[in-house]
Amino acid sequence: MGGSLGKALLTRKLAGEVVGVDPAPGVLEKAVALGAVCHGAASLAEGVAGADVIILATPVSTTLTLLSDLGSLVGEEKVLVSDVCSTKARVVSHAASVLPQTASFIGGHPMAGSEKEGVEALDGDLFENALYILTAASGSDPFALEAMEKLVKGLGAVPVVMEATQHDRVVAAISHLPHMAASALAQTAAGCTEYRNELLALAAGGFRDTTRVAMGNPVMWKDICLSNSDHIIAMMDQFSKELATLRTLIAEGEEKALLNYFDQAREFRRQVPFRGKGILPPIYNLYIYIPDRPGIIGEVATRLGASGVNIAEIELLRVREEEGGPLRLGFLSIHGRRDAAAMLNKEGFRTEMQED
């Protein structure tokens, strides 16, 4: 995340200089080579000296420690401090207690990233069209929040201002619980030692997609659990009740109740937009049936690009669902989708449009 931020700040000319701080051997050299930072600093004190903006791209526990360290390093000049942690209440509260008045802290949580880690996994376009949550303590400098919103927009992301506790409650449901479930599912499958080889051979498609988030950084997720434990436990308790209900229906052979349960779950899932409703602009989806051969996705994208059609989102659907598939292309306008469909149909591809 830190590498992606640095790369985006420099590529988009949002910062004249980006200085990196990382104690791990070789990381800063790689960061410089990859264009994530201009140069590295030997210490936190050296790295933040004269800085206008300080962003802590570290796990929660490390961020809390660094905030305490910054308390004695920040001078009389005003500075904007932020982070990228997935939990906010504890971080925002700690920042308010340890940072001097010259430091304005605005908590940040970019809703972007992947299970990959390390500066080698940086992506300068990671924040394009992504939600970027911003949180501030009561009484925070409104100009600091405004400056952070401007920076986020410069990254290509969409800033969303939320209260820290509200943020933690929401992400416990839509981000943290899914990781707990994915990890538990992976552990459950791993416990089937008698058929381990067969299980690994068949564990594709839905299993891989469902458990992908379990590949996230263990240190980061340990910190997330400990810093948002109340909300995560509450969601896990609710999840356990749902599993118990489902288990009872299966055990008692309740055919109609099972159908109703799955139907309700499917209906809710259908309501989940590809993008945040009311926050991000709508996406107009086009589903394309493509042959299974190397290079076909790049071929489709290249043809559309050559025709002047801009693709906002692209997703390979491994399993055909009601809407179609297996390739979903998202466009920012109905006209863009219409032009893409016309061009692809002319090229011999079969397309379908999602009901808007």
CATH 1.10.3660.10 intervals, the chain: 167-271
Please, which pLDDT band fits residue 355 given cuts at 50, 70 and 90?
low
Question: Which of the four CATH numbers 3.40.50.1950, 3.60.10.10, 3.40.50.720, 3.40.50.2300 does domain 2-162 have?
Answer: 3.40.50.720
Architecture per CATH, 167-271: Orthogonal Bundle (1.10)
Does 72 have pLDDT greater than 50? Answer: yes
More confident residue, 75 or 334: 334
Does 354 have pLDDT greater than 70? Answer: no
Cα(105)–Cα(71) distance, rounded to whole angstroms?
12
How many H-runs (helices) and E-runs (strands) does the chain carry? Answer: 15, 11
CATH 3.40.50.720 intervals, the chain: 2-162
Average pLDDT over residues 249-254: 97
The reported pLDDT for the residue numbered 318 is 55
158-186 pLDDT, tens digit each = 999 999 999 999 999 999 999 999 999 99
Backbone angles phi, psi at 259, to 5 degrees: -60, -45
What's the chain's average pLDDT? 89
DSSP string covering 281-317: PP-EEEEEE--S-TTHHHHHHHHHHHTTPPPSEEEE-
The reported pLDDT for the residue numbered 75 is 80
| Cis geometry, peptide bond prior to residue 23 (ω within 30 degrees of 0) | no
DSSP string covering 224-253: HHHHSHHHHHHHHHHHHHHHHHHHHHHHTT
The reported pLDDT for the residue numbered 324 is 39
Q: How many Cβ atoms from other residues are within 10 Å of residue 186's Cβ?
A: 18
Does 209 have pLDDT greater than 90? Answer: no
Question: Which of the four CATH numbers 3.30.870.10, 3.30.70.260, 3.30.70.60, 3.90.1170.50 does domain 284-353 have?
Answer: 3.30.70.260
Q: Which of 43, 47, 45, 19 is nearest to 32 (CA)?
A: 19
Please tell me the least confidently modeled range out of 23-32, 184-193, 266-275: 266-275
Please, which pLDDT band fits residue 275 given cuts at 50, 70 and 90?
low
Please, which pLDDT band fits residue 14 given cuts at 50, 70 and 90?
very high
Average pLDDT over residues 98-124: 88
Please, which pLDDT band fits residue 310 given cuts at 50, 70 and 90?
confident
More confident residue, 207 or 95: 95
> What is the amino acid identity at position 217?
N
